[in-house]
Structures are given as C-alpha cells and as structure tokens.
Structure 1
Amino acid sequence: MFETLKVFLRNRKAAIGLAIVLAYVAVAIFGPMLLGADPMARVGRPHVAPDGEALLGTTRMGRDVFAQLIYGTRTSLAVGFFAGLLVVLIGTVLGITAGYFGGVVDEIINFCTNIVLVIPQLPLLLVIAAFVGQTSPVVIAIIIGVTSWAWGARVTRAQTMTLRQREYIQASELIGEPAHRMIFVELLPNLLSIIGFNFIGSVTYTIITQATLEFLGLGNPMSVSWGTMLYHAQNSSAITVGAWWEVLAPAVAVAGIGIGLSLLNFGVDEISNPRLRTLGTIAAAAKAQEKIDRQRAAGKLQGAAQ
C-alpha cells in the first residue's frame, strides 16, 4: 500500500489534485465546527464589502458570505461524494453483470444503458427537478446518481469482457470456481482503476450539476450550498449593485474543487494507463537529454572563449 502511495505521489498532477481535494474535505469537516456561526443569521448591513469583521462581505440579507461558503462546502461535497458513490455502485454492478454473464442478461442491461445514454442528461435532470419541485440536496444527489450511471456501466462492461477472455479467468472457470468468487477475487481488483476514474469524474459532474440546478432555482433556497449562494446572488442583482464578492466566493469554490478533481483524475489515468506512463517517461528522458546537451554546448563555448 505504501509503495502504491509513493507511486501516486510521484505524479505531480495526482499529488496537487489530492492536496486540493483534501483541503476542501478538511474545510467541510472541521470548518463549521471551528466557525460555530449560523450561516443564515443576519450579522451586518446588506452588501457590506469584505473587511476585518466580514472576511468575504455580506449578502443582501446581511448574512456572512464566509460562513455560508464554509457550510456550503460541506453540503456540496457531501452531495458530490454521495452521488458519486451511487453512480459507481450502479454502474459497476450492472457493468460487471453484463460483461461477465453475457447472453440475455447482457442484452437487457446494454439496452437499458443505451437508452440512458441517448437521453440528454442535463435536460432530463432539469425536467425531473422541476417535476419534483424545490428539492433538498439529498434528493438532487439521488436524481443525479440514478441518471448518470450509464457511461460507467458501459466502460466497466467493456473492460470486464476483455478480462473474461484472459487465460487465468478461463482456467478458474474450468476448475469450477463459483461466479461470486470470480467476480470479487479475479475481476474486481483489476477494475479498481476504472472504478476510481469513474468515481472522481462522477463527483466532479455532480458538484457542478448541483450548483447549476440550484442556480436555476430548482433546489431548496433555504439550504446552504454553493449553488444556493449563486441563486441568491442572482436574485439580489449582486453584480449590478457592485457586490461582486457574493458571486466570486462560490464561483471560485466550484472552480477550485473542479480543478483539484480534474488533476486527480488525470493523475490516476496516467498512473493506471501504461501508454501514458511510457509517454511520461519518454518526455522526462527527452528533457534530461536536452538539459545535458545544453550543458555540453555551454561547456564548449566556454572552452572556445578561453
């Protein structure tokens, strides 16, 4: 495990992305406890610019933007991770089932997957959220989770079908290994990189989609999240009246977690993909050779000058 962690941290993208994500997680867990403030309480005059008392200013209702940002981090990350787990669970179960058993089971699951893939996802989410009404963050997470599993199921199915043709899998089947052992012992460990890739991508998509739905007014306006902060800023015409801090804080928070998760995703992909690892090694060797060539050229110039 420590060797795996060392390999992971050697990748610059993965290390930076992990540091950003862990910083957000620390804020989500410990921030509200250390802050000890009510994000919905009125603490000052409307639209006060950032100062010593209000680090990120106040909203139109006189609420502390910094407190809302801290509490919103917990809500948005909780929704993202919960929906990501739901997407991975559904996609992995259906993908492995279809790829391993094949036949009629594969045809039925593949048919359902194709239907979900064909339907435009964001319009579907907008219709469902509008039909349900002002939804809580948990309901938004469930809606995203049950409508976003198709891509992960398709990729998992394809990789499972590839692994099922390996000699050690076929040998285990010939000696009578039960299906549940084949799936959990032989297949699942070889699918961990794809599952991790799917989870990180699902969390990123969920956080951005939740903010979009709540910004459009399809969430619960009384909850505190980055999306509802943007929604209230829009309704109060924050940009028009010059209260830029009310929009900037949640927008930077969404962008920051998106960058962190994307870097983490790129790093995991490079580590788990042998072709990308080879390209990285070749690029590093080329840079090292270029540095040596420059040093040699500089040495020749100095020798000629002397």
Structure 2
Amino acid sequence: MPKKLPWFPIFVLLAFVLAAVFAPYLAPHDPMQGDLMISQMPPAWVPGGEPAYPLGTDEQGRDVLSILLFGLRVSLAVGFAAVLLSVAIGTPLGLLAGYAGGRLGELIMRLADIQLAVPTFLVALVVLALTGGGSVLKLILVIGVVGWANYARLVRGAVLSEKEREYVLAAEALGMSRGRIMFRHILPNVLSVILVQMSVDVPRVILLEATLSFLGVGVSIETPAIGLMIQRGLDYIYSGVWWTTVLPGLVLATLVLATNLIGDWMRDAFDPRRRAT
C-alpha cells in the first residue's frame, strides 16, 4: 500500500504556487524599485527593522519579500515549463523508438546516449554563456530541449515491456495504425512512469535555474530571481547582512524539499515494484 498523502509538502508547494501567481497583489513594494536611504535594512523582528519591510531590504534598498515573491515565479515557471517541454519532446521519440524500433529507434537512442553523456548543467551553461543569458523563456527552451533524452530512454524501456501485452496485440490484429496504438493504447499505460520522473526533475530544474542565475548566465539582472539574490547577498554576508542570502536560500531549500517529498510519494504510489513490497 502506498504511503498516505504528504499533506504538509503539498500545502507548502501550493502556498508557494499561490504566492507566485498572486505576487503582484501580495508584494508590498515594487521588487525592482529601491531606495538607497533604507538599503540593507534588517527584517522587522531584528532591531532596526520596520514592519513595512518584513524581511528587510537589499543593498539597493529593495524589499526582500517582494523580490522573493516574484523570484518564486521564475523558479516555478522554469521548473515546470522546462520539464513539460522535455516530456513533449522525449515522450513521442521514446514511443517511436520502443514501438517501431529498427534503424530509426537505434538512431533516436544513439542521439539520446550522446545527449546523456554531457551533463545538462554543462550544456545549459555553455549555451547560455555563448548567447548571453537573458530571459526566462530562453532558460526554459535550453533546459527543456537538453532534458529530452531522459524521457525518451525511460519511455522506450516502458514501451518495450508493454508492446507484447495482449491489448497491444489485439489492437494490431484489428488493423489499427501505429500512431493510434502508441498514443491511444500504450501511452496511457506508461504515463505513471513519466509522472514519477517529472516529479523528480522539477526540483532538479529549479535548483539548476537558481545555480545558473547565481553564476550570472541565467536570467538578466533586471529580473527578480532567487539565485541572483543569493549571489548578490554573498558580497555582504560577512558584514552582518545575512538576510539577503539566508532567507532566499531557505525559501529555495523549502521549495525543493517539498517537491522532492511529493516526488518520493509519487514514486511509492505509482511504481508497481514498490507497491508490491
């Protein structure tokens, strides 16, 4: 039997998603407008802080809470959209490689092997560095396209175990086309494998986006992003301005932990080998 629903991680993730969606209404200040007269103001609960800036301000006098709310938008958008793009590319290729096989299947798998031989981080880093980094859309495209190989290989393996089952043989005997068999019959039976992999990849991509932004090749400096906040805050952490680094780091760690715990539950719930133990 699968473990009970991880209600607390689901609540945390839902709270982050809602905070990101309604960031323009929840943010107390413009995240990119600062006032040098109040730069590096500590959080409200620390002596010297003010209730108008609950989490303090950064070196440019911008509200940390407002930047975090809009930064969640970037992290979640890249995390989910890039993974969906990888699924959209890799799933049809994996279905084709597993069901049709032959030279086309071998070609797809060799391309996947080449892609998997180079770490996603390295490919994204080189591409973004050469193209100058920039927008959230570019991050989604680069990470999403690079990540297709995992899904192609995963789906191919699942299809190979499904294609000899009775329902597939019956569909072939009825003269159904390959496309209909793959997408109407086989795909629904391998969706659980795809969903489990997606739950694992979303937190990984969120961390990847933050790392690339930290290194200066992710989103542009005009975009509120958690990775950029941590990178800027490191210059001042030894002078006692800890909140511009620690608080974004805690938010990022909590977001990744919540999605990882949900992914663990999905793996236990959908993996038949785990359900049998």
Map of 1:204-283 to 2, 5 A cutoff?
204-219=203-218, 220-234=220-234, 237-279=235-277
Matches of 2:113 and 2:77, distance apart in 1: 29
1:179 Cα deviation (Å)? 1.7
- 1:203 counterpart letter in structure 2: V
The aligned counterpart of 1:104 is: 103
Query: Percent of counterpart pairs with the same letter?
Result: 35
d(CA) in 1 for partners of 2:21 and 2:258? Answer: 18
The separation in 1 between residues aligned to 2:40 and 2:199, in whole angstroms, is 36
Structure 1 residue identity aligned to 2:165: R
Amino acid at match of 2:224: V
Runs of 4+ in 1 over 6 A off after TM superposition: none
Task: Give the 3-state SS of the residue equivalent to 2:237 in structure 1.
Answer: coil
1:11 to 4, 10, 24: 4
Whichever residue aligns with residue 256 of structure 2, its letter is G
Matches within 5 A, 1:1-306: 11-13=4-6, 15-35=7-27, 37-43=29-35, 45-51=38-44, 52-219=51-218, 220-234=220-234, 237-279=235-277
Paired residue secondary structure (1:16)? helix
Go from structure 1 to structure 2 and tell me whether the alpha carbon gap of 1:17 and 1:93 turns closer, same or farther (over 3 Å shift): farther
Per the TM alignment, residue 19 of structure 1 is displaced from its structure 2 partner at its CA by: 2.1
Distance 2:228 2:191 in 1: 35
Q: CA deviation at 1:100?
A: 1.0
2: CA distance, partners of 1:67 / 1:175: 59
The Cα shift of 1:36 comes to 5.6
Structure 1 gap ranges (5+): 1-6, 280-306
The offset of 1:17, in angstroms, is: 3.0
Structure 2: tracts of 5 or more residues without a match: 45-50
Q: Using the alignment, how far apart are the partners of 1:78 and 1:24 within structure 2? A: 12
Larger Rg: 1
Secondary structure at the counterpart of residue 239 of structure 2 = coil
Structure (1/2) with the larger helix percentage: 1
One-letter code of the match for 2:188?
P
Counterparts of 1:205 and 1:153, CA distance in 2? 18
Partner Cα distance (1:187, 1:125) in 2: 32
The letter of the residue matching 2:237 is I
SS at structure 2 position matched to 1:176:
coil
Q: Which residue of 1 aligns with 2:48?
A: none
What CA distance in whole angstroms lies between the structure 2 residues aligned with 1:142 and 1:135? 12
Structure 1, residues 123-142: CA drift from partner, whole Å, max 9, x if none?
Answer: 22211111011321211111
- The C-alpha deviation readout for 1:99-124, integer Å capped at 9, x for no partner, is 11110110110110000011132222
Distance in structure 1 (CA, Å) of the matches to 2:223 and 2:274: 42
SS at match of 2:22: helix
Measured in 1, the distance between the counterparts of 2:136 and 2:143 equals: 11
C-alpha RMSD of matched pairs (Å): 1.7
Aligned equivalents of 1:62 and 1:37: distance in 2? Answer: 11
Query: How many aligned residue pairs are there?
Result: 269
